[in-house]
Structure 1
Amino acid sequence: MTKRSMTSPRTTAQPAVATTGSRSAPRLVQVNDRLWRVTRQTGEILGYVESFDSPAGDRYRAKRYILRARRFDVLGEFWRIDDATDALRFG
């Protein structure tokens, strides 16, 4: 599992919107207070971003669902929701 860390230990998640200005930017759809579904513009689900508390502040975990194995594959834990979303987009 690859982990990235950023310099900013605290971020606040934003509502369901594309995270960058690019046309191909994924969309975040808030499922509950701590979970977002990440989709392509076409509606294809890329995975989920889950927020969780850590001793150093809020963190974001990128998870992709592996259909044939019926499980989630954790791609990493990040300080910023945009970084977790990019892990799903490019990972």
Structure 2
Amino acid sequence: MTVLDFATTIDGRSKAGAGSRTRGITAVQLNDSLWRVVRPDGEVVGYIERFDESRGIRYRAKRLIVRQQRFVSVGEFWGMDDALECFRLG
């Protein structure tokens, strides 16, 4: 398990504060286009990356596979909520 105690939310409060949440997980904004997805205990689940494409803004979800020390692309979505939801289901 990877736990990062120094994680903050979008408004700078601790990971227990307000942030993008979906039943049991929180997205912690790292910069303008990258969020770390964590469980309530601080375990890192993956990342969501925002990027532009010709039809608009997309969100790419990447799950962290700790034992293999790599990321696996989960999918690309039109909304942040959809990208976050895929971590809750997995």
TM-score interval, smaller chain = 0.7 to 0.9
User: Which blocks of at least 5 consecutive residues in structure 1 are unaligned?
Assistant: 1-14
The CA RMSD measured in Å over matched residues stands at 1.6
Higher strand share: 2
> What fraction of aligned residue pairs are identical, expressed as a percent?
51
Structure 1 runs, 4 residues or longer, greater than 6 Å off: none
Is residue 76 from structure 1 mapped to residue 75 from structure 2 by the alignment? yes
CA distance in 2, matches of 1:18, 1:35: 12
CA distance in 2, matches of 1:30, 1:46: 14
TM-score (ref. length: structure 2): 0.73
1:18: Cα distance to partner?
3.5
CA distance in 2, matches of 1:83, 1:62: 9
Name the structure, 1 or 2, with higher relative contact order (CA <8 Å, separation 6+).
Answer: 1
1:50: Cα distance to partner?
0.4
1:41: Cα distance to partner?
1.5
- Secondary structure (helix, strand or coil) at the match of 2:21 reads coil
